[in-house]
Amino acid sequence: MKILFFGDIYSKSGRDVIKKYLPILKEKYAVDLVIANGENSAHGKGMTKKIYDELMGMGVQAFTMGNHFLKNSDILKWLDSVNNIARPLNIDGVVEGKGSVVIDTVKGKVRITNLLGRVFIREFECLNPFSCLEDIVDECEEKVHIVDFHAEANGEKKSLAYYFDGRVSAVLGTHTHVQTADNRVLPKGTAYISDVGFCGAYESVLGIEINDAIAFSKDYDFKKHTPAENEGEVCAVILDIDEEDGKSKSIERIHIIPN
Ligand SMILES: [Fe+2]
Ligand SMILES: [Fe+2]
């Protein structure tokens, strides 16, 4: 089974680049399932129903989220009416949605779980991601299980990946918006990358207008936080998974930048 996973889609530039490249990548790699992190898809903050529909129309079949998923409260109105969005599992106080969902594909069921890290994540008081995932892994029947670990610290992400090596198909880091070059399959068959990266404006600082980001870093000026809109980059991975036992055979990095 081939799964295409896009890192955080950021605002319109991110959506535009998905529209442009998703069909090309899907055909090139004979993809069975397309997953994307959608936490920044609506103007950098969360996801609206309009944008969910737009991305589904482009061919994204399932979504993960992250620390920004409640930055636009629109999602709380419709999250329970869809079954293909995994929002962070290990948070308290949110009743809407699920942290782990199951998607049907032509090659069988795929479980998708979204976790938040506990290092430098300020939006939520996070429960222990190890024990929350352990509960799911112990109970679930699906062989193929993709975990999006939305976290800042690579050490935290890789520790979780080794802890669950052989028990989930992939642990894919998201959140930093910068793709790392450490993609590999761990000894017991779990595919890993510290961060898939993001899909959004190439001339930006993690998707944000350059001058706004400079003001933030240089002068602690938080006033503007505008999404940059220009030709985008695509960061994604292709997973090749044995659907019989759920082990990964390979994880390939994709990074497309404007010409
Ligand atoms: Fe993000
Ligand atoms: Fe994030």
Q: What is the CATH number of the domain that holds 137?
A: 3.60.21.10
208 close to 227: Cβ distance less than 8 angstroms: yes
**Interval 129-139: pLDDT, tens:** 999 999 999 99
Tally of structural domains, the chain: 1
Q: Which residues surround ligand 2, an ion (CB under 5 A)?
A: 66-67, 175
**Interval 75-121: pLDDT, tens:** 999 999 999 999 999 998 888 999 999 999 999 999 999 999 999 99
Identify the active-site residue in 68, 145, 150, 177: 68
201 by DSSP, 3-state: which? strand
**Enclosing domain of residue 165:** 2-256
CA of 158 to the centre of ligand 2 (A): 17
The distance in angstroms from the start CA to the end CA of the chain is 31
CA of 187 to the centre of ligand 2 (A): 28
CA of 244 to the centre of ligand 2 (A): 32
Nearest to 25, CA basis, from 238, 232, 246: 238
Any catalytic annotation for residue 225? Answer: no
pLDDT class for 161, splitting at 50, 70, 90?
very high
Residue 186 CA: distances (Å) to CA of 138, 157, 196, 252: 20, 13, 16, 14
CA of 106 to the centre of ligand 2 (A): 31
**Interval 32-90: pLDDT, tens:** 999 999 999 999 999 999 999 999 999 999 999 999 999 999 999 999 999 999 999 99
What SS3 string covers 18-71?
Answer: HHHHHHHHHHHCCCCEEEEECCCCCCCCCCCHHHHHHHHHHCCCEEECCCCCCC
Q: According to DSSP H, which parts of 118-208 are helical?
A: 129-139, 154-163
